[in-house]
Structure 1
């Protein structure tokens, strides 16, 4: 085990309401600066901490400004962390597409990591990053990537290749937060980048039944303990939805409505494909919450209280995302829901932070992935050691088909 006096200084980009950052600090890191362009999120950061905040678009900020504000040299940065939006690149015209590429937040994130060159980074994102296509590339990238343009997953492969050029080994998967003690079945991709070797993915600590891990998923009942006498602030559920919620009990949704009521309640939505489990949904006290969204009262993704005739409150939202009870969110009710709903669960941030520190200190099980018996995700081929070989095989097959046509 290696120990030293290295300060675990973190540069946080796309900080939001600091869910990821709170987890990292709980793990033993120090957030030296936050970069965020949302004004209300910046006010929330300032209302709860003395961490310096750069309130601006990441594409308008220099690396020198980030380091100066953090009072750090490049050598003092342990990790850069954040969840840049991963929008597909535009194909609407050559000039526009190049501007779109170079102005893309995830590309700027890569550039900042290149310029500061920390030993580690964490990139958090939604599941869609695993399927997002690299729609267009500038001329300097054409020889290397033109053959994979429009392929699903080519964005992730592009990042894999570009970070590799900078000396980073990547490990990633789609994590289910509930597998790490978060009272929410929230799925997020976390990419670990390291200049000191590939970081094995952290082993799940919880499971649905608890048989494999010794710990069951954390339930809403556990998450809400102590909130019984706290005033709840929430958005009103539309009256039309309330009408049908009266039929439903804890853990039920539109499928549990009386057959003669289902058609009336669902209307044309009844013909939609998929399970439609979010319609007229009451949550269950005995299970984790589904993914929190930026509003709890959307028709197809309703987050209704298990037993009361209301939506989940912002206080309950904060508990599910594991924010401290004294964390102050600035803005109107809709703004607060948005800040909490967009956050990384604090518990998942903690797991990510401990994963980096334990690896750095050589205090980890190198065989943990091989011995893991809990799937990281319900989806296949989400781990780097599955995703990258599969993508490369798809590229080979595509080239073979192309050659066969000549």
Structure 2
């Protein structure tokens, strides 16, 4: 990268967006989250690679964070921050969160994120969230948010919806990305890189979100490609977080009877199709609910590590906590590889960098050997 892009991260969670931006050359100087398990994950991996250096991890609610407290721990000052990234909790806007929007306290955290952006006055920022944000309250919330993030016209705002499978991520997951530029730059939408070559099967949304994708030579990245070299789960295995749930004979029997792509009526998770990308990872909470989908060949749920692969986390990335804590971090995350693609796109179009990383370079840099 031609420029050292000092970046603040909020709602960092398990670190997908942080890791992706760091791999693309951004300098993450500050991470923050309210979840202690996520903060420990960030600390565990801090400094693990030359591009993901050691930096402050603040474990607190964004409500309690001030620009002054950020400047104190980073040594930066107002107007000296290059970029801000973050995705306020999406459960308030998602189908699984019953789409309560601003009626849910988590939904109001979007305005706290806006408060921080205004206070640190960066060159630009990125806001990430679920696609359901666009339609809740008849679309009025989304319109209000985009307008608010222009900060009375000081930032040019570009907003797009992405189907991440179209960008070589082995998972169907639709996200909204909003980018702001104080320089008045309108960042174009990323062009798709991958596309499917088959018709939709059953309830699986295998059709591409873009007509242009069908003309691409690269097919979607499949579940089989990601999981084919994984050993069966073991407490003493060589993979971090590769420990599965114990299933009763009744559940095993049910899972065995599922067809590829079929949903289990009890657990409401789907049997993965080996020749297609995964369904979106289900998050859950500390009360439960977070689980992997059913493995395509073995009658069990995929492990947190297998789900992490579907989210393009490298195998060296360690998650702190037990199963439900890890799957929540994994499910809430932006896939690291997609974060890297977004970062390279921003670096090129907002910061004028001409030596950014492409898909294959990011796969190699993140050490995602299971995608090769």
Aligned pairs (5 A) from 1:257-296: 266=265, 279=268, 281-294=270-283
Counterpart CA distance in 2 for 1:130 and 1:312 is: 31
Q: CA deviation at 1:57?
A: 0.8
Aligned pairs (5 A) from 1:55-66: 55-66=59-70
1:161/1:280 CA distance change after superposition, 3 Å: closer
**2:42 corresponds to which residue?**
45
In the alignment, structure 1 residue 222 sits paired with structure 2 residue 228: no
Q: Deviations over 1:344-378 (max 9, x none)?
A: 101110121011101034468xxxxxxxxxxxxxx
Counterpart CA distance in 2 for 1:110 and 1:244 is: 47
Q: Deviations over 1:168-227 (max 9, x none)?
A: 122122211111111111111111111222110111111112751211111112212532
Contact 1:234–1:311 (CA<8 Å) still a contact in 2? yes
Counterpart CA distance in 1 for 2:28 and 2:179 is: 17
In the alignment, structure 1 residue 108 sits paired with structure 2 residue 112: yes
Q: State the TM-score, normalized to the length of structure 2.
A: 0.77
225, 230, 236: which is aligned to 2:246?
A: 236
Q: CA deviation at 1:252?
A: 4.2
Partner of 2:300, secondary structure, is coil
In the alignment, structure 1 residue 161 sits paired with structure 2 residue 161: no
In the alignment, structure 1 residue 188 sits paired with structure 2 residue 178: no
Counterpart CA distance in 1 for 2:133 and 2:17 is: 18
**2:258 corresponds to which residue?**
248
Q: Which has the larger radius of gyration?
A: 1
Q: Deviations over 1:45-91 (max 9, x none)?
A: 11110221111110111111112222222333111100012542349
Which has the larger displacement, 77-86 or 177-186?
Answer: 77-86
Quote the RMSD (CA, aligned, Å).
Answer: 2.8
Aligned pairs (5 A) from 1:381-396: none
Q: CA deviation at 1:244?
A: 2.3
**1:145 corresponds to which residue?**
none
Q: CA deviation at 1:39?
A: 0.6
In the alignment, structure 1 residue 311 sits paired with structure 2 residue 301: yes
Q: Report how many aligned residue pairs link the two structures.
A: 312
Partner of 1:189, secondary structure, is strand
Q: Which has the higher helix share?
A: 1
Partner of 1:284, secondary structure, is coil
**1:174 corresponds to which residue?**
161
Partner of 2:102, secondary structure, is coil
1:61/1:299 CA distance change after superposition, 3 Å: closer
Structure 2: tracts of 5 or more residues without a match: 47-53, 93-100, 198-212, 235-241, 355-372
Q: CA deviation at 1:337?
A: 1.1
Contact 1:9–1:31 (CA<8 Å) still a contact in 2? yes
Contact 1:114–1:166 (CA<8 Å) still a contact in 2? no
Contact 2:283–2:327 (CA<8 Å) still a contact in 1? yes
1:318/1:116 CA distance change after superposition, 3 Å: same
Counterpart CA distance in 1 for 2:290 and 2:254 is: 14
Q: State the TM-score, normalized to the length of structure 1.
A: 0.71
